[in-house]
Amino acid sequence: MTVDVRVLSREDLPTAWAVLTRAFGEAVHPEDVEVELALADPARFYAAYADDRMVATAGSFAFDMAVPGAVLPVAGVTWVSVLPTYRRRGLLGGLMQRQLADLHAGGTAVAALWASESAIYGRYGYGPASWTVSVTLQRGAPFRTPVPPGRLELVEPDSPALPEIYAQVAARTPGFPARDATWWTYRLHDPAHDRGSASPLQAVLTDGGYALYAVDPVWTDSLPAGVVRVREVIAADAGATARLWRHLLDLDLTGEVQARILATDDPLLMWVLADPRRARARVRDNLWVRLVDLPQALGSRRYACPVDVVIEVSDGPAPWNTGRWRLSGDRAGAQCLPTTDPADLVVRPDDLGAAYLGGTPLRARPVEERTRGALDLASTAFGPLGPAPWCPQVF
């Protein structure tokens, strides 16, 4: 079997999408293809060919994303797939290695992805950098305090007010990718085949926030038991959060509200609900991060407390990151430079990726501490500067 990796052309993208959907066991829906392909720059997408047949894919989107104290260009890794008859032949490793090298050559410091299988990506230097909560609430769940006054208005999902609110929250929340018009088209895409029996996408707007949701009408023994399926709730403050959730929890003819992707510090869970246990919350990994250019990535973010530490890294997939690096910085700025000084910490690439957004404590990872106290100090420094890191959409 002869295998080669190629950069795709615009004409190759539909075939790559077909390979991806087959690898995931999904059907190709023509109404999805145009929306998906509009996001893809073919120069950032690859395929592995076996005997001139496309059998594996990988690519990345280019977008800006907030990190602690800054907003950086990030590669959103996506379309990673291998046809089931070509597994365990090194195809995925070859694609990821090529992508990583090209991103580094192009000056990208950070890559991020959603892991379809969480056991895969640590070997390529990605670590779980943010976490998300899914909740299921019964209609009418009581709140701790009265809802702050403010308008509520049903609007069309493509209302221009929504991007303005999103941009405000995205700029200050690590893990949030910026959305241009193409990304908003993707986020609001609402094909009939994906709804099941639920309504078309709906939107409600309040001062400082909005919610996107659909209602699945269900009747049990002639009684209404509809399910509210929340796509996203974006709020700039706790008052907006409370108004939006009160709306969702009080919708007529419903019995339950389901939301799959909430921040771990969402006010709904922290103080809005009178009894947070009613949320039946489940935590899972959210965004996985990889430092493509270690000194650039670590020097570009800000740190919660002053830190001056020498980190030793061995990075097989990205040998340019291998070495000892002195990280010094605080809330005002940072730098990360090569050094020959002895290491205070020995850290794997996936551990640095996990800690990068401030959502996974460095001390929770298998870091080797060579200087007493260095791990606690570095872990505190890598901690969040504001909201918990969180990505509200799969890409």
CA 172 vs. chain centroid, Å, equals 15
Q: Which of 46, 176, 303, 395 is catalytic?
A: 395
Q: In residues, how long is the chain?
A: 395
Residue type, 179: R
Give the CA radius of gyration of the chain.
Answer: 22
Question: Which tokens sit at 44?
Answer: 């950032």
86 among known catalytic residues: no
C-alpha to C-alpha distance for 234 and 260, rounded to whole angstroms:
14
Q: Which of 63, 86, 121, 303 is catalytic?
A: 121
389 to each of 62, 135, 258, 302, 365, how far by Cα in Å? 19, 18, 21, 14, 17
CA angle 194, 286, 197 (to 5 degrees): 15
124 among known catalytic residues: no
- For residue 356, how many other CB atoms are within 10 A of its CB? 28
- Phi, psi (rounded to 5 degrees) for 119: -80, -10
Q: Are 303 and 334 in contact (CB under 8 A)?
A: yes
Helix, strand or coil, per DSSP, at residue 304: coil
What residues are annotated to the active site? 121, 395
